[in-house]
Each structure stands twice: as C-alpha cells, then as structure tokens.
Structure 1
Amino acid sequence: MNWARTTAFALSVVLTAGSFPAVAAATEVPAVCASGPASFPKPESAVVVEPGVSLSAKTSEHPPGTTFWLGGGRHTLADDPYSQVIPKDGNVYLGAPGAVLDGRGINRTAFTQHAKDVVIRGLTIRGFAAPQDQGVVNHDSGEHWVIEGNVIEDNRGAAMMAGPRQEVLGNCLRNNGQYAINAYRAGGGITGLVVEGNEIAGNNTDDWEKKSPGCGCSGGAKFWAVDGADIRGNWVHHNHGVGLWADTNNNDFIVEDNLIEDNDAEGLFYEISYNLIIRSNVFRRNALKLGRDFAARGNNFPIGAVYLSESGGEPRIWARTDMIEIAENEFVDNWGGLTLWENADRFCNSPSNTSTGTCTRVVASPSDCAPESIAVSPAYDDCRWKTQRVNVHDNVFRSAPDCTGFCGRMAVLSNYGTYPSWSPYRGNVVSEAVTFAQDNEWFSNTYVGHWSFVAHDASRSLDVAAWQAAPYGQDPCSTFDGAGGCPAR
C-alpha cells in the first residue's frame, strides 16, 4: 500500500450493465455483462453433466484432457465449504446456455489446484465465498488457464486468481467482494498474462480499504510481481477503489485500447514496478470520490487518473520497453491527470517500506541495502524504486467544467525524507531527483479547461507559465485551450 495514500472516441450508446447505467463507446469496449455468457458449441465427445450430477465426481472419474458440457440450469457442489472441482491437465468445462455454477454462499472455491491448460468457457459462476486474497476460479494460480466468455459475479474474495500465461478473455467480472482478478502466485513466476475484452465492473463490494485501512487490497484487478502482461480492450468501470492496480515488482505491462471510467479511486495505479506502456486508452471520471475525500480533509496530495508510485523505466530489466510511456490517451473529466510520486522514505530495507521484506529487482537481498553500504554506489541508486524515464506525450487532457481547487492537476513530486536516521535520502534529495534528474518529461500534449501543476513537493503549485519555464521546462509543444504548441515545420 502506498504511503502517500494513507497520510473523442466513436459515437456512444447507452448500455445497462448490471446495476450500472453507463455510457460506452460502441466500437471500443465490450458490453459483456449486458449480453451474458458467450455461447460455445458442444463437442460430440463431451461428457454431459446435468444439474444435480456432481461435477467434482465426474472430473475425478475421467482422465486428463476430458471436455465436460454443463447442461442448462443450476449446478451446485456438496454442502461443504471445501467442496470444489479439481481439474486435471487439459480439462475443458463448457456451459450450455443458462448453465450456472452456484456456490450458494457455502462453497469457498469453484476450480482449484495445479492442473495446466485448463479451459473454462460459457458459464455463470456466482455465490462462492472465497476468503480475503483468495479466488474462486483457478484458486491456486495454475499455469495457462483460459477463462473465456463467462460471467463471474457476486462472489466473495476475487472472481479468479491468475497464473503464468493465463488468458482472461471476454468475461463479465462484476460485483465481487474484493477483486475481479488477483494475479498473485506464491513465489512469483507469473509471466505472459493476457487480459483482453473483459468487462470489469463494480468490484470490491466488501469495501476492503474501510475494513482494513491501508491494506492495498481492493479494486477491479490487482497484479503482484507479474512479468509481462497485455491488458487491452477492456471496459473497467464503477469499481469501488482503483480500477487496475499493479503493486510490487511488476514489469513489462502494455495497457492499451481500454475504457477506464467511473472508478472511485485512480483508473490505473502502478506501484514499485517497472517498464510500462499506457497508450490509446480513454480515462473518464476516475478518482472523483477519492479526490473529493482528500479535498474535504484539506489534504493537498495530487490525486490523478493515473498514479505512478516509485515506478519507472529500467533498462537493466528486460521488457518490450525500457521506459514508462504514456501516449495517445484521452483523459476526460477525471479528478486529476497524472501523478508521478516517489516516497523518499520507501526503499529496500527501510522500516517505512510497506512492502515488507521486498527489494527492488536490481538488488539481491535487503542485506545489500544495509546502513553501512547504502550511502555509496551502487546500493545508493539500486536500493530505491525510482520514478524515472517517464514520457508523457500526445495525450488529450480535458478537465471537468466545474473543476476548481485541488482537481485538474498534474504532478511530479516527493516528500521531504526523514526516516530512518541512517537513510541517505533524507531532506530534498529525492524531490530534486524526481523533478529534475530522472528523465520525467511531458511534451506535445493538449490541455482543455482548468489545469495546474505540482512539482518537487505538494506545497509547490505552478501555473502553466511556471510549469513550462525554467527550471521545470515541462510540456514544450503542448497546447492549453488552443494556445501554444510548436510552429509547423
């Protein structure tokens, strides 16, 4: 959990997704929840499982690679919290029209254990009671599960966990107690994750940040130590918290062609992670609740639609980019724009590091960041997660018409380092670095409406002229309400 947080597209049509009347660009995002589970053909070789027949027993009786066809109607498991379906390698589970697997608030999980290459398609999966941080589908983060065309809704915990090479395609993932997706595997090792064409809506119904303040355990989707993820073409909306949250040593993410709107907190939060491309997305009306809550308390921390916290480009870690590039997106009526933040007191081996026991990906162990070594190179540089090498260009930023005060802000900043006493990052060391020395650049953007800028620390507020002038020199060739830009060549 982050320290600072705790102290136009095509013609649109109106769609109804569950309880959310929403506006979605018709050609850009999938209204999966409005249409229900996808239809898939029944293979001739499939084992038919009708309601009332034990899917767990049928799975146990048949060999790996069996395809099961769940007939229309309500399927249930035994009256035992730990009753579950344990797939074998290569098993396929297909739902006939109207097939529902219902946990009835009794069963904790639906599909579990460590089989590979499992496929789950065309089902409605609801009513399971997974505990905190656990998932209903792929509970144990098995490898290369394909979860496609399902409606997974109204469960406790997460709708699903994610494992290596998992494909999450065209699902409705809504109204789950904690997350739609919890991409976590003990020991790490999640690579090649694909999340495409899903509707991720209304999750965190149990309001985990209120239950456990500062837990960092809520939102639409959460990613932990994932190395390689393509998140494209999703509609992420009305989640009670962050829309998409990558937390702790993630790397090599591409987030593109998504509509991310109406989430209570940031649309995208990328925390102590590396190497990211954010392009061709629409961010709309995000963080209005969070921003207003901060403003009502007089907290001047800049809340944005996108929040980069101790995250940046790192050429030493292989990825499809060695930067964070934020380009060709449209930001409309969000509380704020982008916040680039670096906590001066958060680094490997610091007592202030809320990711306890975690080090940067360029340090072998906390012992490399001991008081006697951290003040000199290479530990001085390598023990910090740095907000660095961020390029923000060719985006459109439109503030809300009634935006005044703490809304409508861009920011690149840190806090005054104070702790621990042996930290070499005390004082303004990190504020100076993140603002002036770590290649964080805005240029060639379009601004419409009220915008102001925060640089160096939360108390330093700038107007457009100061933001563009020395020593900041940001947003060359950008336009502000049609003024500015660079001469045509």
Structure 2
Amino acid sequence: MSFTFKLSRRLTVRPSLGMYTLCSALILSTACAESDLLENTDEDAATWDQSFQVEVVPEHVFAEVDQPIQLVARLHLPARASMPIAVEWTASGGTVSADGLFSANSSGSYKVVGRRPGRKHGDTTTVVVGDTVPHTVALILSPDTALLRPLETRRFTAEGKLTDGSTAQIGAVWSADGGTIDAGGNYLAGATPGQYHVVAKNVSGTLADTARVEIAPPVPTLVALELTPTTVALAGGGAQPFAVKGRLSDGSVAEAEAVFSATGGTITSAGLFTAGIAPGHYRVIATSGAGAADTSTVTVTVPAASSGTVIYPGTDIQAVVDAHPPGTGFVLKTGIHRMQQVDPKDGNVFTGELGTILSGARELNTFVRSGSYWVAGGQTQQGRDTDPVHCELGYEGCQWPEDLFLDDRLLLRVTSQAQVGPGKWYFDYVDDRIYVGDDPSGHRIETSVSAYAFGGTASDVTLRQLVIEKYASPAQAGAVQGDATSGWRIEDCEVRQSHGIGIRIGDNWQVRGCRVHANGQLGLARGGAGSLIERCEIYGNKTVHFKTGFAGGALKFSKSKGLIFRNNKVHDNMGNGVWLDIDNIDYEVHDNVVYDNDSQGIFVEISYRGKVYNNKVYGNGFGRNSSWLYGAGILVAASPDVEIYGNEVMNNANGIAAIQQNRGSGAHGPHEISNLYVHDNVVTMSEGKSGLAQSIGDESYFSSRNNRWVRNTYTLGRNAKYFAWAGATMSETEWRRSGQDVEGTFRR
C-alpha cells in the first residue's frame, strides 16, 4: 500500500508558529529544495532574517596568491538543520565568482560576504592571502591523528617546514575520505565508523602530509543499571557498600550515576547501606535520572543476646574476660562502655548490639568560669606524645594524644592558654586543668583518655557490630592495636574519632564491612601477612593535621605480604588515599572506588611486586602538592614489578605516573622503577601528566628497565602536552614516538 502527499507551495513557514520543523525534517532527508522551504511575503522578511541565518564556510582561511578558495553558503534553521543556499557574493578585494570561488593576485586580508538577494543580513568570512613561501621542504599536518564521533568536527592546520628548520603558514589544498573537509581544513566526520584519512597538499602539489582519522561509533546510551552486589546478608547494624554500573546500548558496561534508596536500613548518597535492627528481607534500589533502575536484596539477621556472656555498660570488660576461658563469646549491650581497654584471650568474640559504643573518652561535667575561659580541673591523664615537627603548621597540638569534643565536634588543641578561644582548648598538664573557649552549658564535653580499645597478643579474635570511638591513641598507634596479633576478624564495625590510627592490622586479619572515619592520623595501618580488607568505607581521616609525609590520610600499609584490598570506598581524606609504603609485596588492590582525597589516590611507594587493577579513581591530588607528578590518581614511587591495568582514572591532578628518586634498598632488593606495566586503563585528564620521571640522572629508566605504557585509552583536554618521559613533556604524538601506547587511543 502506498500513499501520496501533496503540500501546497503557498505554505508559508513562519518561525513564530513553529512550522519550520516540517521542512527541517525534509531537509535532513534531502527531500526539500530551497524553493520549497519558504515562499514568504515582505511582512515575513524581518522574521526570516532573525530566524534563518546564512553562514559562509570556512569562517577563516589562509591562501597563497592566486590560489582559488571555494566558499559555500548554508542556511541554518532553528531546528539545527542546514542546507546549501544561493547567495550574492561580494569581496573587499580580489575576485569572487557567482558560485563563491575566491582568489586574489596580491597578499592581504580580504572580507568576503554572502548575502541572500534582497536581504540586509549575511555572513562574512576572512581570507588571508600570503605570498608563496620559498624553500619549503616538507608539509606538516596537525593533528596527525584524530578520534571523532559521527558528525563531529575537527580543524586541521598545515605548515611548511623550511630549509632552516623553521615553519611558516602556507596555503593548502585539502581532501579527505569518511567525511567532508572545507578550504579552511575543517573536517566533518561522516556517519559511518571506520579508519579514514585527511590529506593536505601544497598549492603546487609537490608536498603532502596525511593525518589518520578514526570515526568511532555513536556515543552509546544508558539502557539499564546493574547494582552490585545483587544479594547480601548482614547482621543488624552491619554495613555494605553498593556500587552501580550502566549497561549501554552497544553492550558495554560503564560507570553510571544513580540515586540510592533502601528499606530495612539507611543508605548514603555514595551507596553505603547500614542495616537496621529488624531481621528480614529488604531492598536496595538504584535509579538513574533517565529512569533506569536495579534492585538488590539484603537479608538482615540479628544475633540473639544469649549467644554469649552479657556485659552491660559500666562493667569492667577486662575483668569479665579474665574470668572466662579462651574462646568465650561476649555480647556488649546497648549503651556507652567508657574508657575500656581490653586484651582478649585466644578465640574471644565480642558482639555489639545496635547502639553499642566503646568510648575512650570521659565526659566532663564540672567547669568553673575563669575570665574568658571555662576550666575543668582534676585531669591527670597524659598519654605518649610525639615530636611536633610531625604536625602541620598551626596544628602543633597534634603532638599530644588527648582530644576534646563539643557535642561530638572535634575542637582545635592549642599550645598555650593565651591561644584559647571559641573552637579551641588547652591542656595544662602541670596543673591538671583543661581550658575551653566555649561555654559548656547545655553541651556535652568529652575528652579522650584511654589509649586503645582492643590490643594484646591473642589470636583469632572477632569484633562484630561495635562502634569504637574517641580513644587517645598516640601517633602511629591504633584504637584497635593489632601489631602483635594474628587471625582477627573485624566485621561491621565503625571506628571513628580516635587521635592516632583507627585500626592497626596484624597477620591474617580480615576487616569487612567497616566504616573507618574521622580519625586523627590514619584510618587503617600496617597490614601484616595474608590480610584482607573488603567492603569498607574509609573517609574523612587525618583530622588533627599530622603531616601527610609522616603518615597521614586514609590508610598506610607497610611491610605487608599478600595483602588484598578490594571492594572498598576511600574518599575525602586529607592526605593519601590507598597508600602502600615500605616493603609491601604480592599485594592486590582492586575493584575499589577512590576519590576526592587530598593527595595521591593510590600510592605504591618503595615497595615491590603487586597489582593495582579495576579501580575507579577520580578527583584526587588537588589538596596538596601536585608538582612534578605528585597528586596522581595512581602513583608508583621507586617500586619494581608493579602492574596497573583495567583502572578508570578520571580528572585527578595527574594521571597514572611513576617517579624515581634515590630510595636505597629494602627487604626484597633495590627500590627502583623497573618492569612497570601500565596497560588497558582508561584515563581522563583535563590537566596534569601521565608518565615517568626521575631525579637521579639515570636515563636507563626510560630505555632498559622495561617500563612501559600499553593500549591505554586517553581523553585529553585543551593543553598541548599531557605526558612525561625522558625529562620532557610530550604531546600524544611524541609520547607514541617514544614507544609508549603505540596502540593506545587518544581523544580530545
């Protein structure tokens, strides 16, 4: 069955009525001629001139004397369609034919105007005509590669290389396949993906250069969300990070933005679900702005109170542990268990209820007003201090382990009574007094006293569903202190607001589903042998402003072997994100999300063989020094045999980088960059660099130590050079010529 439609040529297309869309569609299907577009009356002329604009292309072009330049006029419609259109041509000099072919027999700058007959408005292009450049030995086309989407444009330029090595602008004759190119070198990609070429020749046709153009498939669109994990079982109060990816129209999977909601608990905007206390089956839902959604199932279980010996707040936990044999389980009841320090026995299990808190702080209830201060006496606690050289300028109070909290808000500790004011406090150890600059009336004031919550030398201890907070742990010590232990399990705990480190990990530890945040120095440290950290959220650490180089940030693992750090979120820490520093070997850092940390996102420093893969790393390095190659999304410093692959590294201060300084040797050999294999990553950089640099005068790191970048994909900004190699900064072309990412993909 066929249909025939006839439209009257008396149809007037008035932009004010929105009728232009009819012919716009016809133009896109090549079914509308200029005469069909509009038969307008004089009263429509003003509307026409305002809504249907003539554009002359190219907008700017350089030509040589007597070189013919073809100009084209197009009519642009509000619906973003366009079509060739006949115009009247005029020029300020030279000659222009009725069909827009311009040339000039003398050098100069000329204006060429295309205007519809009887219309005031037109468009102007500038043609700069120069004399033929003598002694040209080569033609240089830039860029030499381009990756475009269908109907995307890219401007190419041509220069002549002279016998003295300098360059000069010359006239060029352009040709291309896979799309169209105008006289100004403006290439419009066609609709068919593939490999194509742009060719520029000099006017005499004796010199030429070719650029490679790849037209990629159209940008895929989101068709579905995929939420992981799909199912999970949690104890009441337990935590689980959820992640979402998008299934795209081309079948690939990419990161996706989503809004989270949940039943049976709470969920943060970053996807951290915290289970409630009621057992049952619940849902976590991720929804995109386009309406795509996915759901995961959460099963919440709550252990019975009778599963262990019950300990109520106010009871001496250590005394109860001492009275029972190894392997005993304990249930710590809801409430605040203050200033408890526990050295467990082998196999002990400590389980909390919703609202169980172990606090290392004492509540201060008695203050005396003294001038502009409020004073609490009788404070005899005094923990181990550290050298103030390790504190940032203005935060010298970080040297002492006691902190003060006003309604859970950390106050700034100052070094003299005279410095006390709102938000600040001072501890006079000589007279056992605390001076506060805020009126404590109606507020809860706490000061940390106890050095740790759990420590000792026991093996196979389990801590489950506990909140551990506000311990006066000294620098480099933990509220959970596991250096001399093995086989501990820390599950679904929250460790926060202690002065030094949240958790120091021993051998064969498992830390799962924990929130570790707002600690003064680090969230996690050490690492041990054979340990696993997964499904944790580590954020907002280094609150008392230790220097990052001393050890400050989210976490710092040292001298670990076989460490696995996976499926965690590490974000918004002052200092480094994931930091492996000093003699770590056989580690795997994978499937983590690491973002918005002040310094490096993932930092492997003076360590050895290991893998960093399938992580999403973005927004790191902007809060501290990002000179040289610091502040990278992923940075390797003086560490051999590191493999980095499958990561998505987006908009960090620097990309994926390595640096070599004189760092000596360690437990497994020299600390030097060798056999570095960076491959199959996706890197987005609007600033900064990726690559390798050294400061010890040894060029072998670029030639004979097997350091290489292979098959990475880059999306680059407007800067000319985004790569560092052999003491130079490089464009993508120079980077490939140096032997790096020869099969890589570069997009701008």
- Per the shorter chain, which TM-score range? 0.7 to 0.9
Matched with 1:136 is: 479
1:203 alignment partner, one of 537, 541, 552: 541
Partner of 1:437, secondary structure, is: coil
What is the identity, as a one-letter code, of the residue corresponding to 1:65? G
Residues of 2 paired with 1:462 and 1:22: CA distance?
A: 42
**What are the equivalent positions in structure 2 for 1:125-204 lying under 5 Å apart?**
125-183=468-526, 190-204=528-542
Do the aligned residues in 1 keep the contact of 2:307 with 2:331 (CA within 8 Å)? Answer: no
Residues of 1 paired with 2:269 and 2:677: CA distance?
A: 30
Q: CA deviation at 1:278?
A: 1.2
Matched with 1:305 is: 633
1:410 alignment partner, one of 668, 677, 690: 690
Q: CA deviation at 1:464?
A: 0.7
> Aligned pair 1:276/2:610, yes or no?
yes
Residues of 1 paired with 2:506 and 2:715: CA distance?
A: 41
- TM-score using structure 2 length: 0.49
2:663 alignment partner, one of 346, 351, 356: 346
Higher-Rg structure is 2
Q: CA deviation at 1:120?
A: 0.1
What is the identity, as a one-letter code, of the residue corresponding to 1:52? G
Return the structure number with greater strand share: 2
**What are the equivalent positions in structure 2 for 1:329-408 lying under 5 Å apart?**
329-343=647-661, 345-348=662-665, 359-362=666-669, 384-399=670-685, 403=686, 407-408=687-688
Q: CA deviation at 1:307?
A: 1.1
Residues of 2 paired with 1:302 and 1:473: CA distance?
A: 23
Residues of 1 paired with 2:656 and 2:276: CA distance?
A: 35
What is the identity, as a one-letter code, of the residue corresponding to 1:304? A
What is the identity, as a one-letter code, of the residue corresponding to 1:461? T
> Aligned pair 1:95/2:352, yes or no?
yes
- TM-score using structure 1 length: 0.74
Taking structure 1 as reference, are residues 59 and 39 closer, same or farther at Cα in structure 2, changes over 3 Å only?
farther
1:326 alignment partner, one of 634, 638, 644: 644
Q: CA deviation at 1:14?
A: 6.3
Partner of 2:576, secondary structure, is: coil
Taking structure 1 as reference, are residues 304 and 98 closer, same or farther at Cα in structure 2, changes over 3 Å only?
same
Partner of 2:692, secondary structure, is: strand
Matched with 2:731 is: 463
Partner of 1:339, secondary structure, is: strand
What is the identity, as a one-letter code, of the residue corresponding to 1:480? F
Deviations 1:438-464 (A, max 9, x none): 11111111111226111123xx11111
Do the aligned residues in 2 keep the contact of 1:243 with 1:260 (CA within 8 Å)? Answer: yes
Residues of 2 paired with 1:229 and 1:207: CA distance?
A: 27
Do the aligned residues in 2 keep the contact of 1:94 with 1:122 (CA within 8 Å)? Answer: yes
Q: CA deviation at 1:140?
A: 3.8
Partner of 2:703, secondary structure, is: helix
Partner of 1:59, secondary structure, is: helix
Q: CA deviation at 1:86?
A: 1.0
Deviations 1:59-109 (A, max 9, x none): 1111110100011111113xxxxx611100000000011111111111110
Matched with 2:723 is: 453
Taking structure 1 as reference, are residues 206 and 174 closer, same or farther at Cα in structure 2, changes over 3 Å only?
same
What is the identity, as a one-letter code, of the residue corresponding to 1:160? I
> Aligned pair 1:239/2:525, yes or no?
no
Taking structure 1 as reference, are residues 347 and 204 closer, same or farther at Cα in structure 2, changes over 3 Å only?
same
Residues of 2 paired with 1:302 and 1:94: CA distance?
A: 42
What is the identity, as a one-letter code, of the residue corresponding to 1:455? W
Q: CA deviation at 1:42?
A: 2.7
Taking structure 1 as reference, are residues 205 and 330 closer, same or farther at Cα in structure 2, changes over 3 Å only?
same
Do the aligned residues in 1 keep the contact of 2:663 with 2:672 (CA within 8 Å)? Answer: no
What is the identity, as a one-letter code, of the residue corresponding to 1:68? F
> Aligned pair 1:46/2:308, yes or no?
yes
Do the aligned residues in 2 keep the contact of 1:39 with 1:122 (CA within 8 Å)? Answer: no
Taking structure 1 as reference, are residues 154 and 302 closer, same or farther at Cα in structure 2, changes over 3 Å only?
closer
Q: CA deviation at 1:13?
A: 2.7
Deviations 1:234-258 (A, max 9, x none): 0000011001111111001111110
Do the aligned residues in 1 keep the contact of 2:647 with 2:682 (CA within 8 Å)? Answer: yes
What is the identity, as a one-letter code, of the residue corresponding to 2:725? A
Q: CA deviation at 1:303?
A: 3.5
Taking structure 1 as reference, are residues 221 and 53 closer, same or farther at Cα in structure 2, changes over 3 Å only?
same
RMSD of equivalent CA atoms:
2.2
Q: Give the number of aligned pairs.
A: 380
Q: CA deviation at 1:134?
A: 0.3
Residues of 1 paired with 2:532 and 2:464: CA distance?
A: 16
Residues of 1 paired with 2:664 and 2:451: CA distance?
A: 37
Deviations 1:45-71 (A, max 9, x none): 410011121212111111110100011
Residues of 2 paired with 1:107 and 1:174: CA distance?
A: 19
Q: CA deviation at 1:207?
A: 1.5
Q: CA deviation at 1:116?
A: 0.2
**5+ long unaligned stretches in structure 1:** 1-7, 16-20, 78-82, 185-189, 314-323, 349-358, 363-383, 418-427, 483-489
Q: CA deviation at 1:10?
A: 3.8
Matched with 1:380 is: none
Partner of 2:303, secondary structure, is: coil
Q: CA deviation at 1:43?
A: 6.0
Do the aligned residues in 1 keep the contact of 2:473 with 2:499 (CA within 8 Å)? Answer: yes
Deviations 1:248-294 (A, max 9, x none): 1100111111000000000111111111111111001011122xx44
What is the identity, as a one-letter code, of the residue corresponding to 2:347? G
What is the identity, as a one-letter code, of the residue corresponding to 2:593? L
Residues of 2 paired with 1:182 and 1:441: CA distance?
A: 31
